[in-house]
C-alpha cells in the first residue's frame, strides 16, 4: 500500500546512497520518526564537519561554482516529498524554528552552518543574521563553520557581528577571478578564517594566505561534474605548506566521487586549524 510515509522511506533508501545528501536524509528520517521537523539531528557525511544546521534554506546563483549546485537539486526533491522546511523549494526561506537546534545538541560538534543556503544572502536580514550569531555565541561548546560566496556582505557587517572564537568564517573561491573574496575575508574580525576552494575550476596561483587559518580543496561531484586537474591541487597544497596553512583535500569528485576518492600523492590530507580542538563538556 502506497502511503506518504512509505514514499518517504522509499526515497530515503535511494537518497541515502548519495553521500552529498546523507546529512539531509538523516534530517528527514529523524523528523519523520518524531513528527517534529524542528527537532532534527543532522550527522553529516561531509568530510570536514560533524553536523549541518540550516536556519536558512534556499539560495541564488552568483558565480560559476554555483552552476551544478547540489543544494538546489536536493531542495527540489525535498519539496516534492512535502518536507515543510522546503515548501518553497530553493527560494531563500528563513527557518526560525531551527534556530535553537545547536542548544539542544549537548555533545560538542563541528557544525557547518547553512549547507543548504548562504547566511549572507541579500534576502537574509541583518537582524536574522545577528540571531544566528547569538545562538552560536550561546552554544559555545560547538564550533561553527560558516561559508559564503558573498564576501562583500560579510565585510560590510563584520563590525556589527559578535565574533566569538568558536565561529569560523570561510569563503568559497572556485577560480582566480573570485580571489578577491579572500581579501574581503581577511579584513573581517573572525577569529578563524578559512577557504573552501571547491568546486575547484581552475588554477589558483600566488594565493595570498596571510591571515588564513585553513584551506579546503575539492573537485566538483554529481551529474555533469566539471574536471579538476592534479596540478591545480598540488600547487595549492604546496602553497599551503610553504605558508604553514593547514590543508584539507576533500575529494577528486566526478560523477561517482566514491570511486575517485580523496587520496593525493599516496595519502589523505586532513589537516585542521591549530585552534580546531573541540571543547570537552
- Among the listed residues 183, 185, 233, 187, the one whose alpha carbon sits nearest the alpha carbon of residue 208: 183
Global pTM reads 0.86
pLDDT digits (tens, 9 = 90+) for 156-205: 999 999 999 999 999 999 999 999 999 999 999 999 999 999 999 999 99
DSSP of 219-265: --BSTTPPP--HHHHHHHHHHHHHHT--EEEEE--BSSHHHH-S-BT
Rounded Cα gap, residues 281 and 243, in angstroms:
33
- Asked if the model's pLDDT at residue 27 lies above 80, the reply is no
Q: Which pLDDT belongs to residue 280? A: 63
Contacts of 11 (CB under 8 A, 6+ apart): 28, 77, 81
**H or E element that contains 26:** helix 22-34
The C-alpha cell at 201 is 575550476
Q: Count Cβ atoms below 10 Å from residue 4 Cβ, excluding itself.
A: 10
- Asked if the model's pLDDT at residue 126 lies above 60, the reply is yes
- Among the listed residues 86, 113, 82, the one whose alpha carbon sits nearest the alpha carbon of residue 7: 82
Distances (CA, A) of 4 to 1, 9, 122: 10, 9, 35
C-beta separation of 240 from 211 below 8 A: no
Q: Which pLDDT belongs to residue 279? A: 66
pLDDT digits (tens, 9 = 90+) for 82-104: 999 999 999 999 999 999 999 99
- Cα 147 from chain centroid? 6
Amino acid at each position: 500500500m502506497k502511503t506518504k510515509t512509505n514514499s518517504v522511506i522509499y526515497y530515503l533508501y535511494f537518497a541515502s546512497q548519495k553521500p552529498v545528501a546523507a546529512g539531509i536524509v538523516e534530517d528527514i528520517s529523524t523528523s519523520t520518526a518524531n513528527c517534529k521537523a524542528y527537532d532534527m539531528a543532522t550527522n553529516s557525511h561531509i568530510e570536514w564537519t560533524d553536523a549541518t544546521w540550516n536556519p536558512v534554506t534556499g539560495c541564488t546563483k552568483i558565480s560559476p561554482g554555483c552552476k551544478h549546485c547540489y543544494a538546489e537539486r536536493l531542495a527540489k526533491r525535498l519539496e516534492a516529498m512535502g518536507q515543510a522546511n522546503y515548501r518553497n523549494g530553493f527560494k531563500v526561506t528563513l527557518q526560525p524554528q531551527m534556530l535553537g537546534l545547536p542548544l539542544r545538541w549537548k555533545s560538542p560538534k563541528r557544525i557547518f552552518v547553512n549547507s543548504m543556503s548562504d547566511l549572507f544572502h541579500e534576502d537574509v536580514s541583518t537582524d536574522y543574521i545577528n540571531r544566528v550569531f547569538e545562538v552560536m555565541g550561546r552554544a559555545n561548546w560547538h564550533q561553527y563553520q560558516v561559508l559564503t560566496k558573498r564576501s562583500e556582505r560579510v565585510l560590510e557587517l563584520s563590525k556589527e557581528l559578535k565574533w566569538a572564537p568558536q565561529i569560523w568564517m570561510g569563503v568559497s573561491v572556485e577560480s582566480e577571478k573570485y580571489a578577491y573574496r579572500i581579501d574581503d575575508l581577511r579584513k573581517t574580525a573572525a577569529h578563524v578564517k578559512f577557504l573552501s576552494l571547491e568546486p575547484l575550476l581552475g588554477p589558483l596561483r600566488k594565493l595570498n594566505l596571510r591571515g588564513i587559518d585553513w584551506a579546503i580543496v575539492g573537485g566538483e561531484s554529481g551529474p555533469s561534474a566539471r574536471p579538476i586537474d592534479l596540478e591545480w591541487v598540488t600547487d595549492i597544497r604546496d602553497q599551503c605548506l610553504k605558508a604553514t596553512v593547514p590543508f584539507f583535500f576533500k575529494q577528486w569528485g566526478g560523477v561517482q566521487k566514491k570511486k575517485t576518492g580523496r587520496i593525493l600523492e599516496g595519502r589523505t590530507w586532513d589537516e585542521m586549524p591549530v585552534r580546531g580542538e573541540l571543547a570537552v563538556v
